[in-house]
Structure 1
C-alpha cells in the first residue's frame, strides 16, 4: 500500500504546544510508512524572514529527513489549506492512503472527494484542535496522545554556549510575536 504524508507545520506546532512534548519529524515518516511504501512526505512551513539563516537550516534539515518542503513567506497566521488540498488531489493517483496532520475544516471537501475516489485518509492530530467535519470526512482519526511513545522527540534541543573569551553568559532569544515566528523558532530546535 502506497502512503503519502501531508503535515501542516503550524498545526503540528500548536498540537505539540498543547500536548507538552515535541514531535520528532524524522520518526514521523517511519511511523506511518515503510520506506518502500512511502510515496512522499510533504511538510508545509511558513517562512517569516527569507534571510533568516536558522529558518533555512530547519527547512534544509526537513529535506534531508526526506520531506518535500512547501514553504512561503508569511506574516501572521499561515494558511496552507489551498496548497495542501492541491497536493492531496494532484498526487492522489500515486498513493492509496494519506496521513494528514491538519485541523482545518477547509479541507473537509477535499477529503470527501478523495474518499469518493476510493482513497483512505487518516487524520493525525489532537481532537480539540481539529474541526469536527474534517474528522467526520476522514477514514480514521489518529490521536497524537496515543502516539507519544512513537513520535516524541527525546534529547537534543537548542544549545547555547557562553562566549568564553568574554566570560559572558548565554543570552536568551527574545520572544517572537507572530505564530509563524514561534513555529520556526521551535522547529529550529529540532535540527
Structure 2
C-alpha cells in the first residue's frame, strides 16, 4: 500500500518534550512504510534564523534521510496547517495511506475530505497534544508512547527538555527553544 508521511516538526518537538525521549527521524520513515511502498515523506520545519548554519545542516540531514523538507522562517508560533493540507490534497492520488504527525484541529476537515475519497489516515502523536476532532477524523491513532521502542533515538545521549508545565512561552522563548532543538539535532546527526 503506497504510504505518505506528513510530519509537523514543531509538533514532534513538543511531543518529544512531553515524552522525555528523542525521536529518530531516520527510523520514522522505515517504521511506517517499506521503502518500495513509500510515496514520500514530508517534514515541515520552522526556521528561526535563515542565517543559522546549524539549522541548515539539520534541514540538509533530513533531505539526506529521504524527507521532502518544507520550511519557512517563523517568529513565534509556527503554523504549517495550510501547507500540510495542501500537500495532503495535492498528493492524494499518489498514495493510499497517510501517516500524519500533527495535533492541529485545523486539519480535521482535510482529513475528513481525504477519508471521503477512500484514503486511509493514521494520526501519529500524543493524546494530550492532539485535537479531539482531528483524532475523530483519522482511521487509526498511533500513540508515540507505544512506539518508543521503534522510534527512540539511541546512541547519542538524551536531549534535555524544558519543563512542559509552563505553557506560556513568549515568542522569544519559543525561538530560543527552537534554536536549541536545532543545535541538539545537529549534534545528534554528527
Report the TM-score when normalising by structure 1: 0.88
Q: Distance in 2 between matches of 1:8 and 1:35?
A: 21
How big is the shift at 1:190?
3.3
Look up the SS of the partner of 2:39 in the other structure.
strand
Q: Distance in 1 between matches of 2:59 and 2:181?
A: 12
Look up the SS of the partner of 1:177 in the other structure.
helix
- Which 5+ residue runs of structure 1 have no aligned equivalent? 159-175
Q: Normalized per residue, which structure has more helix?
A: 2
How big is the shift at 1:77?
1.1
Task: Write out aligned runs for 1:85-100 (5 A).
Answer: 85-100=85-100
- Which 5+ residue runs of structure 2 have no aligned equivalent? 159-171
Q: Distance in 2 between matches of 1:6 and 1:190?
A: 22
Report what 1:145 is aligned to: 145
Residue 130 of structure 2 is aligned to residue 130 of structure 1: yes
1:177 to 149, 173, 176: 173
How big is the shift at 1:35?
0.2
How big is the shift at 1:104?
0.2
Report the TM-score when normalising by structure 2: 0.88
> 1:122 touches 1:140 (CA, 8 Å); kept in 2?
yes
Q: Deviations over 1:13-65 (max 9, x none)?
A: 00000000000000000000000000000000000111100000000000000
How big is the shift at 1:181?
3.0
Alpha carbons of structure 1 residues 80 and 183: separation in structure 2 relative to 1, 3 Å? farther
Q: Distance in 2 between matches of 1:22 and 1:11?
A: 13
Task: Write out aligned runs for 1:35-50 (5 A).
Answer: 35-50=35-50
**Higher Cα Rg, which structure:** 1
Report what 2:68 is aligned to: 68
Look up the SS of the partner of 1:121 in the other structure.
strand
Q: Distance in 2 between matches of 1:29 and 1:119?
A: 19
Q: Distance in 2 between matches of 1:45 and 1:186?
A: 15
Q: Deviations over 1:57-86 (max 9, x none)?
A: 000000000000000001111000000000
How big is the shift at 1:122?
0.1
